[in-house]
Chain A
Amino acid sequence: MNLDRLFSHLAGFMDQYLVLPVLFHLHWMAWDDLAFDWCLICVYGLFAVLVTYAVCLPLEHWRPVERWQNRKAVLVDVFYTLLNRVGVVPIVTFVLFYQAQTWSTALLVRHGFIPPTLDSLVPGLFGHPLLTFCLYALILDCADYWRHRLSHAFRWWYALHSLHHAQRQMSFWSDDRNHLLDDVIAFFWFFAIGLAIGIPPLQFPILLLGLKFIESVSHANIRLSYGPLEWLVVSPRFHRFHHGLRAAGRQSCNYASVFPIWDIIFRTADFRNEYLPTGDARAPEALVTGGYLAQQAAGLKLFCQALAKSWASLGIGRAA
């Protein structure tokens, strides 16, 4: 049995014996079709976490950049990862924003715009799902570069993103450490892009996990660069530079998640072979060592303060 089939079986089992009984008793059977998709996300997500763990843990022991007294600060990142990868945050975001999503798509369709797919737009692409997938990966990574870069440029947005930067003990668990509001913004960001170019082909979940794997590894506490391939794929060295104390805040570098090519093209790449301590010196301690809820609350507070500041400066500007 191949991996793909095994995952479908596991997801089917989970759907049949865990999810459907709940949906049935709550009179939510309308979600039956999507329930299986969600189970697939969970199964694949769990697999990705296990693989990342199996690969990164020995590497972090072998060539760590930093040695820590204790790993308590890492625990909260583990929680973030499980929440995000094993499908809780994706499903909650999806269900919460389903109406907004369909409402806006329906609005566009009513005005004659039917969202296309890349393989219907680019001649010769249809029937080549692997090529189509690669093109989607590039475009979506570029979109993510700009989302990330903009999240450093606006005070209110960085107030949310600083949660990601606050971690002083950065490890392969840190990739999913984000403020919920930041996740919501990302959701809508990619939804808008989906309206323009459609969703990627569905038949390559393993490749999709491969891309997420690169992101996880890039956060790992490993003294590792990809040498002559540094320009091709984001390495732990490349992304650690982005997490360096100096790079927190408005002026930063190495924004790319998977392909450094965007930093090269848009002139934000820094390939110096240095392994700097990570963190955000201005982040309140709750954002660094607080529990999940404390971090979320601190992030929200920073966000509100930043918004108020922006409003105030806007008001002063007008008065003057």
Chain B
Amino acid sequence: MITRRLALSLPMALAAAPSAHAQAAPPLAFALNSAAGSVTIIDMKSRQPLRTEPTFREPSHWALTRDRKTLLVCDAGGNGLFMFDPRTAAPLGHRRIADPYQLGFTPDNKYLAVNALRLNFIDFYDAATLALVKRFEAGHWPSHLDFSPDSRWSFHSLQKSNSLVSIDLATLSQRWSVPVGDTPAGVLWHRGKILVCIMGARGFVEVNPENGRITRQIVTGDGAHNIFIDTRRNVLYVSNRGPGRTGLTALDPASFEILRDYPISGGPDDIGIDPQGRIWICLRFAEAVAVLDPQTGDYTTIPVGRSPHGIFLNTMLREPGLITAERI
């Protein structure tokens, strides 16, 4: 059944694809099942799960190498870093590193920054060799991260210290650490500012990257967890984890005016956006990925493994520019 589906979907994808190499890849979604120790590979055309690839214990987030040839998936509970071919989802091996929860390559491709949430480490690895270069112990529970596009600075939210810490990437030294609110999570560099979701509050804050001062506070919904930018359509999305009402809030990226609210149940977490603008959302409790049409607000679901956390759509490979889990 599964092989037949694959056989059917492959020629279709190939026929529809123009000549460029990256576009020849069958459109696949990777859902990281954090409580099943696996990655579900979904055919984005038929919206059917094709197969699962094993990891050790707890795959949560991903990062793409700058040459776009390797997708890294981190597995905090198994102390592993898994590599996949982002075009075919073929596994390319794994490395043992300490407690990788969230990760990202610096835009200049010098370092791989890894937040080890449980161990309170912010680790910088050499992007080419994955050798540990420097370790920071800046506070409790480093969760999300982002960089300035010129690769001068990195920013990490410290979930249990209620702060945001910035590191100078030229000297690998801490620049500042500032309180930003109750349980900070998602971090996004946006138009020269840093946006940080505040889970214990009802939205996100805008922080001046120079000095760490909060310049604006924006209300979206209870338990604002992560923030994403649809770079093609220029929409900001904030996922709200509750309690109570959960969903996505769409905002104007300049004014932060709320454009629309999408109520979504089942524990929405990370998202991806496909070429048609549909939003693919991991639903932690529902063990599913939702595909939401932002025009109508309707969504359908695809069953995946237990507690899906991060999601990567390889259709992003068609787009130019920087690809990170929040810049989609």
Residues in B with CB closer than 8 Å to A4 are 287, 306
Q: Does B118 contact A (CB under 8 A)?
A: yes
B200 touches A29 (CB 8 A): yes
Cβ of B92 under 8 Å from chain A: no
Contacts of A30 in B (CB 8 A): 141, 159-160, 183, 199-200
Q: A40 in the interface, Cβ–Cβ < 8 Å?
A: yes
Interface size class of A (residues with CB under 8 A): 35 or more
Partner of B244, one of A17, A23, A199, A203: A17
Docked pose: A32 CA to B98 CA in angstroms? 22
- Would you call A27 and B182 a contact (CB within 8 A)? yes
Q: CB of A93 within 8 A of chain B?
A: no
Contact A36 B57, beta carbon cutoff 8 Å: no
Q: Which residue of A lies closest to B182 (CB)?
A: A27
> Assuming A116-B79, A198-B57, A199-B77, is B285 touching A11 (CB within 8 A)?
yes
- The 0/1 profile, CB within 8 Å of A marked 1, for residues 90-104 of chain B is 000010111100000
Picked from B37, B141, B200, the residue with its CB within 8 Å of the CB of A27 is B200
> Given the known A-B contacts A8-B287, A114-B97, are A36 and B307 also in contact in the complex, defined by CB atoms under 8 Å?
yes
Q: Could you tell me if B78 and A29 are in contact, using CB atoms closer than 8 angstroms?
A: no
From known contacts A109-B121, A116-B79, A129-B37, infer whether A8 and B182 are also in contact, taking CB-CB under 8 Å.
no
Question: Chain A, 234-253, contact with B by CB distance < 8 Å: what is the 0/1 string?
Answer: 00000000000000000000
Residue in B96, B241, B285 with the greatest tally of chain A CB atoms within 10 Å = B285
Instruction: Write the nearest CB–CB distance from B32 to chain A, whole angstroms.
Output: 13
The reply to whether the CB of B156 lies closer than 8 angstroms to some CB of chain A is no
Contact between chains at B118 and A24 (CB < 8 Å) = no
Interface residues on chain B, number (Cβ under 8 Å):
47
Q: Is the Cβ of A9 less than 8 Å from the Cβ of B98?
A: no
Set B54, B120, B159, B244: member contacting A16, Cβ < 8 A: B244
Contact string, A106-128, partner B, CB cutoff 8 A, digits 1/0? Answer: 10011000111101100000110
Measured between beta carbons, the chain B residues less than 8 angstroms from A105 are 99, 118-119
For chain A, residues 271 to 312, give those with C-beta under 8 angstroms from any C-beta of chain B.
none
Q: A4-B306, A9-B286, A29-B223 are in contact. Are A16 and B246 (CB under 8 A)?
A: yes
Report the nearest A residue to B201, measured CB to CB.
A29
User: What are 15 A-B pairs at a CB distance below 8 A?
Assistant: A8-B285, A12-B267, A17-B243, A20-B241, A24-B223, A30-B199, A102-B120, A106-B121, A110-B135, A114-B97, A114-B98, A127-B54, A198-B78, A202-B58, A203-B305
Q: Does B149 belong to the interface (CB within 8 Å)?
A: no
Residue of A nearest to B80 (CB): A120
**Chain B residues numbered 101-121 whose CB sits less than 8 Å from any CB in chain A:** 118-121
What's the dominant secondary structure at chain B's contact region? loop
Asked if A72 CB lies within 8 Å of chain B CBs, one says: no
Which partner residue on chain B sits nearest A106 by CB separation?
B119
- With A11-B285, A109-B98: A117-B56 Cβ-Cβ less than 8 Å: yes
In the complex, B50 has a CB within 8 A of chain A: no
Q: Does chain B have a CB within 8 A of A64? A: no
**Which residues of chain A come closer than 8 Å to B54, judged between CB atoms?**
126-127, 129
Which residues of chain B have C-beta atoms less than 8 A from A114's C-beta?
79, 96-98
Most interface-central of B54, B97, B160, B303 (chain A CB within 10 A):
B54
> Does B214 lie at the interface of the complex (its beta carbon under 8 Å from any beta carbon of A)?
no
The answer to whether A116 and B306 have CB atoms under 8 Å apart is no
Q: Is B317 an interface residue (CB 8 A)?
A: no
Provide the residues of chain B in CB contact with A13, threshold 8 Å.
285
Q: Please provide the 5 A-B residue pairs with the shortest distance between their CB atoms, ordered closest to farther.
A: A12-B285, A20-B243, A29-B183, A21-B243, A29-B199
Expressed in whole angstroms, the Cα–Cα distance for A15 and B58 within the complex equals 20
Tell me the bound Cα distance from A185 to B326 in angstroms: 43
Find residues 11-41 in chain B having any chain A CB closer than 8 Å to their own CB.
35-38
B284 adjacent to chain A (CB < 8 Å) = yes
| Nearest CB on A from B51, distance (A) | 12
Q: Which residues of A contact B80 (CB under 8 A)?
A: 117, 120
B209 within 8 A of A: no
Tell me, yes or no, whether A5 is within 8 Å of chain B by CB.
yes
